[in-house]
Chain A
């Protein structure tokens, strides 16, 4: 497997995204915003379509759309209540609808679209890997720097707000991090499955961890393991890599849940 360059590049990209996606997803899950990653993915799809239509690198336009969409979702969410819930649905579905219309206008409503919807990790080039590794490293370093305030807000948002912690700025930073993650993970598991890689490793880790920090670190380990094992399985069993990676993460969640039950913690 490792003698093929395309697999070495795929494993490199998978490793970066496998670490970054749960690291960012951890804070969304703790604040019960697991579907925000999915929503940003919908908006990123419109960005991909705009890139194909304008003949600009779709990953770049997806990144811009995801960041703008992520911030818009955060602003709407912060208003709270039923109106905010409906506004989020509006953003999600407008993103998908806009994507379909733009991509149809570009005459690309064909197999090319599949690489963005379901991932295309086996076509990652050295230049792609450089971009994924660079942005991934910045993302992970930012999460490390902001770990304490983001964890503190997850524990007690209202108490932090009263004490003057800049909740709004930290929420926007989280949304921007989620958007970068979606844009990078798009090549690995595709827009439709990106949220799974942000949520499933965290859910798995929280079944067996003993503290918030151990959950965070274990979820990154599960994400990394799922990406590498999923790629290896897909190589030898000739399966689609994106779906296989997510199925490995889902299987890990089931295994961790069983381990919890067998250990008598439930």
Chain B
């Protein structure tokens, strides 16, 4: 299996003497659907920021598709859904405007969107089930629907690697399950490598092939089935057959 990302002996601190991450060893294969979980402040977001090349490790190395992550040359193949609750400033922003922003890197920066870009935007909106809401302001939709719009934005860029940081913050348990199901469908239909970061992994643990628990370093890396029972998230009750 080709590797999408490799973190080799990565340590990191935002100031001298601080250790947010310590000797992290992680390999992500192309086409994997991985959940990265752990307590708040455990280093999850820092880990994905290093993985995406937004931060450089203090020690060790971070590679994306074989290139140093901070100098990765094919950035338009990366989709990132940062932790958020609202889009932009005070102006109302429609679902279509949010998703169109996903074609910025791949579709060219200047002038209006081309026909193919508009088609990809429409496809992405349809895929996440928001076609009927495409021209409504985002702020009029529920938290779960807003997150679907941002997932569609990431999809519109046709990413090979999609990283979602706490995509279910402020979303009720039912919508979390629905989002997880959507990601599972995208993964199986499109073959996108997905990294799902969350302090709670109950919604995705029956979809992901692999669960990585981070608490300054990696304390568990394996199938959710191998996770000790007491570590499972009790807020999500699944009928796991």
B100: which A residues are within 8 A, CB to CB? 148, 152
Task: State the 8 A-B residue pairs at the shortest beta-carbon distance, nearest first.
Answer: A164-B75, A30-B89, A163-B105, A152-B101, A215-B91, A162-B80, A158-B82, A152-B104
* A211 nearest in chain B by CB position: B94
With A154-B89, A155-B93 as known contacts, state yes or no: A163 contacts B109, CB within 8 Å: no
Whether the pair A159, B82 counts as a contact (CB closer than 8 A) is yes
Which A positions have Cβ atoms within 8 angstroms of B? 26, 29-32, 145-146, 148-149, 151-152, 154-156, 158-166, 202-203, 205-206, 209-213, 215-216
| A-B contact number at CB 8 A | 117
Say whether A149 contacts B109, CB under 8 Å.
yes
| Contact of B216 with A by CB under 8 A | no
Contact code string B80-115 (vs A, CB < 8 Å = 1, else 0):
111010011111111001101110111001111100
A148 to B90, CA, bound (A): 17
- Residues of B near any A CB (own CB < 8 A): 52, 54, 75-76, 78-82, 84, 87-94, 97-98, 100-102, 104-106, 109-113, 135, 137, 150, 153-154, 157, 163
With a cutoff of 8 Å between Cβ atoms, the chain A residues found around residue B92 in the complex are 206, 209-212, 215
A contacts with B: majority SS: helix
Nearest A residue to B165 via CB reads A158
Given A152-B100, A213-B97, A215-B91, 10 extra CB contacts under 8 A: A31-B89, A146-B109, A155-B98, A159-B102, A162-B80, A164-B76, A206-B91, A206-B92, A210-B137, A211-B91
Do residues A148 and B113 form an inter-chain contact, with CB atoms below 8 A? Answer: yes
Determine whether the beta carbon of A163 is less than 8 Å from that of B89. Answer: no
Contact A165 B94 (CB under 8 A): no
- Could you tell me the distance in whole angstroms from the C-beta of B75 to the nearest C-beta in chain A? 3
Whether B111 and A148, one on each chain, are in contact in the complex, defined by CB atoms closer than 8 angstroms, is yes
Question: Known contacts being A156-B82, A164-B105, A211-B92, is A148 close to B112, with CB within 8 Å?
Answer: yes
Contacts known (A145-B110, A148-B109, A159-B154); A165 close to B91, Cβ less than 8 A: no
A197: min CB distance to chain B, Å:
17
